[in-house]
Structure 1
Amino acid sequence: MIKICRYCGGKVICISTKAFYGRDYGAHVYKCTGCDAYVGTHKGTKNPLGTLANKELRELRKKAHEVFDPCWKDKHMQRKSAYRRLKEFMGTAREDTHIAMFDEDQCRRVIAGFKRFVLTGEGGST
């Protein structure tokens, strides 16, 4: 459970998606009361999908997904293999290899070099 915002130190509250988006998606949102940072939860739980993110980080995560997702969605490789390659590229532990867990610098790294790494094997963590 997230209680304090990592950006502004404000209080973080857990609200329904109905209260946040105006529509019930069967999940919740952890939202900072002091700034625009938030993160959704897994459906039917209060388990966060990742870490609290401000607008900049949310945009970087979207762009990172635009680079990463076609690797498995376009059937170039299986999803599990794509995440294995992302783990190799980032040098992260398996449980931390999710774009929703990445910070700004990690997202920028995926955006800048993951596609080349998948195609050539160059640019990963060593």
Structure 2
Amino acid sequence: MEMECPYCTGQVEFVSTKQFYGKDYGTNVYVCYPCDAYVGTHGKGKTPLGTLANKQLRSLHMTAHSIFDPLWKGKFRKMGRSGAYRLIQKLMDLPPEKAHIAMFDEEQCRLLISKLKEYRGLN
């Protein structure tokens, strides 16, 4: 799978986690070294887990997950995993295949963070 960096339009490299992290995690990574943008893959395959993300987008993904994940895991869970992802679909008006935080851009992450805070009463 050829991939172009959305930040610099340069060619993205496909490497193993051993090459990228120095340790084999049993997966691969698409990486644009000049932009410090990367995304992991499903297992040893070439299917990306989401979209290529630079440091800012990775930070927004983590923030969104920190608000979202307690809804379906941990001691504060209010719903199962599938219910939580249905909530993302509803809040973001997206079909199931697009309702994944790892696929969101910065604008979508900020919107989801705001909507999740409102939903959870964190505003």
Counterparts of 1:33 and 1:66, CA distance in 2: 27
* Per-residue deviation, 1:100: 0.3
C-alpha RMSD of the superposition? 1.3
* CA shift in 2, pair 1:109/1:59, >3 Å: same
Q: Which amino acid aligns with 1:63?
A: T
Q: Residue 28 of structure 1 aligns with which residue?
A: 28
What's the counterpart of residue 77 of structure 1? 79
Displacement over 4 Å in runs of 4+: none
The answer to whether the 8 A contact 1:60-1:108 is kept is yes
* Gap regions ≥5 residues in structure 2: none
Corresponding position of 1:49 = 49
Q: Please, what TM-score do these two structures have when normalized by structure 2?
A: 0.90
CA distance in structure 2 between the aligned counterparts of 1:39 and 1:2, rounded to whole angstroms: 14
- Where does the alignment leave 5 or more consecutive residues of structure 1 unmatched? 120-126
SS in structure 1 of the partner of residue 31 of structure 2: strand
Per the alignment, in what secondary structure is the counterpart of residue 69 of structure 1? Answer: helix
Shift of 1:118: 5.5
The percent of aligned pairs where both chains have the same amino acid is: 54
Matches of 2:91 and 2:85, distance apart in 1: 10
Alignment partner, residue 60 of structure 2: 60
Per-residue deviation, 1:43: 1.4
**Aligned residues, how many?**
119
Q: Return the offset for 1:93.
A: 1.3
Question: Matches of 2:62 and 2:33 in 1, distance apart?
Answer: 23
Describe the SS at the equivalent of 1:62.
helix
Q: Secondary structure at the match of 1:66?
A: helix
**Mapped contact 1:11–1:33 kept (Cα < 8 A):** no
